[in-house]
Amino acid sequence: MPGWKAAAISVAAAAASIMPSTAQESTDSGRFAVVSLSVNFLRERPDYTAELGTQALMGTIVEIVGEDGYWREVITPEPYRAWCNELGIVEMSGTQLAGYRCAPKYICTAWHSTVYSGPSEASGKICDIVEGDIMRIADAGGSTARTKAAFARGFAKVLLPDGTEGYVRKGDVQEYSSWAASRRPSADSIIDEALKFKGVPYMWGGASPNGVDCSGFVRHVFLMNGIALPRNASQQAKEGTGIPVRGTGGSDSHADTQASTTDMGYSQDTDGVDIGNFRKGDLLFFGRTREDGSAAITHVGIYIGDGRFIHSSQYVRISSLLLSDEDYYEKTPALLACRRILKP
């Protein structure tokens, strides 16, 4: 896809995913814009009835590669190519984009919050924001009396992508660069973030607190821990290190999601899955075996220990790999791969 390089796994890589570096884009030969909605719905065709492909959060830089009326075809940093309407993004020139990238920013760390027209919840609402949204810091030096007064009242002054000034509860945002530098992804931090989603409804193409599909859920959880993963489960299944899912000796037949499968003689309690191989924070991939023996990945979840994992399936919930448990996941026999993203 023109203009982008796929995001690679790295600590504190949220910046590389949401705001690609100069090396990842060429503003001289393309059109670029910044997502201006709290959650922008990107569709597979330029039509509101089209399938939802993914979502992009406020502050994300996208490349514009096509037009159809008021629809714009864009490429996100993952990369993902889809369509959104023109009012959901703010197109910028190369100079404007360079200024945007360099400007100090806040990231929303609250699950949901609001941008107000003044430093008071009684003032008018401008828009909503969700966890992961990015806004520029208005008056970054905090030198004006108005900015100081707002901060003293518990509000941070922000600048939205279209230039609108607003105010957010200061406890709902964090200075972006310090947030990114503070990311120390661990099994506990991954699980803590994942548990925020419990009960959130499944939404095909969803990748935000407003609704998630299985891979969108996983991607957001890791992104908020400073790890940028690809968008889809089949792509995520190629990241990290393969971990055997059945048996304890040697390499697992599905560790690379490509090898042939065999009847493993599932045990009464675990369907042949060796949960002793898994660590908290590992990604579990489910699917089917194609005729050529390769694995077709269709679902992903996050292992949380004791034979259980959290995933978006009808809604975000915890299920068990153990047949004897009441919350046993009936598709456990279709567990094809485990990938370890976190470093030992």
Tokens, residue 140:
């970054």
pLDDT for position 272 = 78
Q: State residue 194's pLDDT score.
A: 98
Residues 336 and 202 in one domain: yes
DSSP SS3 for 151:
helix
User: Strands 125-130 and 308-313, how do they pair?
Assistant: unpaired
- The CA-CA-CA angle for residues 239, 245, 250, to 5°, reads 95
Residue 253 and residue 270 in one domain = yes
**Residues 59 and 35: beta-carbon distance below 8 Å:** yes
Show the CA angle centred on residue 97, arms to residues 96 and 103, nearest 5°.
90
Clarify whether residues 237 and 324 are in a common domain. Answer: yes
Question: Could you tell me the CA-to-CA distances from 2 to 29, 73, 187 in Å, in that order?
Answer: 10, 13, 35
> Is 1 part of any domain?
no
Q: Are 253 and 333 part of one and the same domain?
A: yes
Res 147: pLDDT: 85
From 181, 210, 243, the end of a domain falls on 181
- Report the SS3 class of residue 233: helix
Same domain, 98 and 225: no
Separation of alpha carbons 255 and 250, rounded Å: 11
Cis peptide before 79 (omega within 30 of 0): yes
Rg (CA), the chain: 21
Instruction: Clarify whether residues 160 and 199 are in a common domain.
Output: no
**Residue 141 domain flag:** yes
Domain span at residue 154 reads 105-181
Establish if 170 belongs to a structural domain: yes
DSSP 116-127: ESSSSTTSPEEE
Instruction: Report d(CA 82, CA 225) in Å as an integer.
Output: 26
Same domain, 196 and 331: yes
Question: DSSP letters along 297-336, please?
Answer: EEEEEEEEETTEEEEEESEEEEEES-TTSTTB-TTGGGEE
Mean pLDDT, the chain cut into blocks of 10 residues (344 residues total): 33 41 51 98 98 98 97 96 98 96 97 97 97 95 85 94 97 97 97 98 97 98 97 96 74 38 37 89 94 89 97 98 94 95 89
**What is the C-alpha separation between 328 and 214, in angstroms, rounded?**
18
- 4 falls within a domain: no
Residues in the chain: 344
CATH number at residue 176: 2.30.30.40
Return the pLDDT at 291. 85
Domain end among 181, 202, 220: 181
Least Cα distance to 321 among 290, 284, 292, 294 occurs for 284
My answer on whether 297 and 197 are in the same domain is: yes
Provide the pLDDT for residue 247. 67
Task: Specify the pLDDT at position 253.
Answer: 38
Asked if 214 and 295 sit in the same domain, the reply is yes
Which phi-psi region, left, alpha or beta, contains residue 174 (left: φ > 0; alpha: ψ -120 to 50)? Answer: beta
Is residue 168 domain-shared with residue 236, that is, in the same domain? no
Regarding whether 109 and 251 lie in a shared domain, the answer is: no
The CA angle 84-88-92, to the nearest 5 degrees, is: 105
- Model pTM score: 0.87
CATH of the domain at 212: 3.90.1720.10
Structure tokens at 34: 């910044």
Q: Give how many domains the chain has, as a whole number.
A: 3
DSSP letters along 268-298, please? TTTTT--GGG--TT-EEEEEEE-TTS-EEEE
7 inside domain: no
In 3D space, the residue among 112, 111, 167 whose CA is nearest the CA of residue 135 turns out to be 167
150 shares its domain with 59: no
Q: How far is residue 261 CA from its own chain's centroid?
A: 31
Is there a domain that residue 9 lies in? no
- 181, 210, 236: which is the final residue of a domain? 181
**CA dihedral sign, ordered 45, 50, 56, 59:** positive
Position 8 in a domain: no
Whose CA is closest to 337, among 291, 277, 280, 292? 277
Residue 90 lies in a domain: yes
